[in-house]
Chains A and B, each alone.
Chain A
Amino acid sequence: MNIIVCIKQVPNTTEIKINPTTGTLIRDGVASIMNPDDKGGLEEALKLKDKYNAHVTAITMGLPQAEDILREALAMGADKAILVTDRKLGGADTLATSNTLAAVLSQLKFDIIITGRQAIDGDTAQVGPQIAEHLDLPQVTYLENLEYDGEKTFTIKKSTEDGYQIIEVDAPCLVTVLASANKARYMSVRGIVEAYDKEIEIWGFDKIGIDESKVGLKGSPTRVHKAFTRGVKAAGEMFEVDAEEAAGIIMSKLKEKYII
């Protein structure tokens, strides 16, 4: 069985802070990490590898430094790593990104493509289903658990707002995985050592063989018109008083505002 896992390098957004006086982002010193949902997806693939001796390829599109998360994937147990990188691919929105990745994936062998549900920098949850559409694959999103019958059928537990669904789908297919589906394994010492000897395959624009109008900024139907921080709201009244008095202040404020 061949599994391809799509992963993304993202800034650790939980570490980003806003300067309270200027309202601007403080991004200095914020580390880059493997997107958490993608890591959950990689773990799902590695579980299948443990059980069915599957071959796992990790693929990412990004800047050259995205190699770091591919090394991490190799150290966790992936067999092969592909870095899709080219200046021509820059400025891509989700559709252009999915066009690019689908063009690469269509040249590879796979039974299942696994992506994370969404990346913490954009939170769009779009690239997985868009790849599935380009490759004419059935998709299952919000995967919580995956079982394989060893031949061709996957049984999936999909998380929904009000419960879950049990879904069957045959290979080839694409699934998007929640970080909470798995506790990702740590890199092994041997894995780390070996990961640095393994070659990472680089795919540039020419190797992908895709029309330039479908990638990068040119291939993106959506454009950022402007970006801004939320700004700083004027703080309301503040009191530092004992509990009894505080309760009184709250009660009178609620009455004043007709809330009670």
Chain B
Amino acid sequence: MNISEYKDVYVFVEQREGKIQNVAFELLGKARDLADSLNEKVVAVLPGYNIENHANELIAYGADAVICADDKELEHYNTEPYTQAVCQIINQRKPGIVLIGATTTGRDLGPRLSARLATGLTADCTKLEISENRELLMTRPAFGGNLMATILCSAHRPQMSTVRPGVMRSHEKDESRTGKTEKISINFDKSKFRVRIIKTVKEKKDMIDITEAKILISGGRGVGNEKGFDELRALAAAIGGKTEVSSSRAMVDAGVMEHARQVGQTGKTVRPSLYLACGISGAIQHLAGMEESEFIIAINKDKYAPIFQTADLGIVGDVHKIIPLLTERFAGK
């Protein structure tokens, strides 16, 4: 393998039903930073069907070029057609870096690609940087978030990594940016299409996206039960705007809150302007999902709770008393 042949930063752009997933814009932002430090280009790889109209948006978010693999076979995600399409593009174009969103789709596609290309894949990176000798430094949590590791893929290309939604920040949309859009056709080996998708069902769980919230009122064991969460919901309603209620894992496991609202290692990564942690002790797995929030307030009865180590403002007290008072003050504002 001649490593010097491989250059540019490629982003796999995930669309569902023709809608570009936010994680793609976040990856384009990070790809832009990486490409700028390498003095290389950002290329968005967009598989789908009748999706060319999205190319300009990808350019506005940081791509220099867009490769549209437009084919009926790529309308909905399925492992084999997507692997063949992305593999073909990588083999032809030889990118130095490939970034993939760590969604259920990206985590299905990424490892399949890495095995077909016989290269490394680093999962769920939280930090990506270029080293002095132009290698990709991929940092990710391990041991349930207890340890961080920086990974290198020195002798193989492309250097591939997946990144969870909400971890990177997209750049401001810049409509004045220009770039080249190219439509390519894929030569499929359809004899390998062996997985039949019978139906795709959407459930209510996609209706809320806590990663989009500006303010999160988050409850843990100290909130106790459904009634306790009603107090948090009342506060969220009184604050209004993009305010949502989220939860620690404990309350999801207890069945009080739905998984879509879970913050942490096995839930969502969030970075709102305000994270109000109510009765959350602050296990490392929870901190991993919220410590990048701009301002963190913790309310907890236990003054030794680890959440206070991460909070900008810590209140030792009873959430059931303080939250209704805050709701009153917001309502009366």
Chain A residues with CB under 8 Å of chain B are: 11, 13-14, 16-18, 20, 25, 93-95, 98, 120-130, 132-134, 136, 138-142, 155, 159-170, 173, 220-230, 232-233, 235-244, 246-247, 249-251, 253-254, 257, 259-260
Closest residue to A102 on the B side, CB-wise? B115
- Whether, in the assembled complex, B69 has its beta carbon less than 8 Å from a beta carbon of chain A, the answer is no
Give Cα A25 to B116, complex, Å.
36
The reply to whether B155 and A221 form a contact with Cβ atoms under 8 Å apart is yes
Residue from B137, B143, B154 within 8 A of A13 (CB atoms): B143
The reply to whether A139 and B206 form a contact with Cβ atoms under 8 Å apart is no
Instruction: List the B side residues contacting A162 at CB < 8 Å.
Output: 16, 202-203, 205-206
Which B residues, 291 to 329, have Cβ-Cβ distances below 8 Å to chain A? 291, 295-297, 299, 303, 306, 308-318, 321-322, 325-326, 329
Give Cα A249 to B154, complex, Å.
51
Q: How many residues of B sit at the interface, in one of the four size bands?
A: 35 or more
Q: Is the interface of B mostly helix, strand, loop or mixed?
A: mixed
B265 to chain A, nearest CB (A): 8
Instruction: List the A side residues contacting B291 at CB < 8 Å.
Output: 233
Chain B residues with CB under 8 Å of chain A are: 16, 79-80, 83, 103-104, 107-108, 110-112, 114-116, 118-124, 137, 141-144, 146-156, 192, 194-203, 205-206, 215, 239, 265, 273-274, 283-285, 291, 295-297, 299, 303, 306, 308-318, 321-322, 325-326, 329-330
Residue from B104, B155, B295, B313 within 8 A of A141 (CB atoms): B104
Q: Which of A165, A226, A241 has the most CB of B within 10 A?
A: A165
The reply to whether A13 and B146 form a contact with Cβ atoms under 8 Å apart is yes
Instruction: List the A side residues contacting B143 at CB < 8 Å.
Output: 11, 13, 16, 25, 121
B83 to chain A, nearest CB (A): 8
Instruction: List the A side residues contacting B283 at CB < 8 Å.
Output: 14
A13 to chain B, nearest CB (A): 3
The reply to whether B201 and A164 form a contact with Cβ atoms under 8 Å apart is yes
The reply to whether A238 and B316 form a contact with Cβ atoms under 8 Å apart is yes
The reply to whether A20 and B322 form a contact with Cβ atoms under 8 Å apart is no
Give Cα A139 to B202, complex, Å.
22
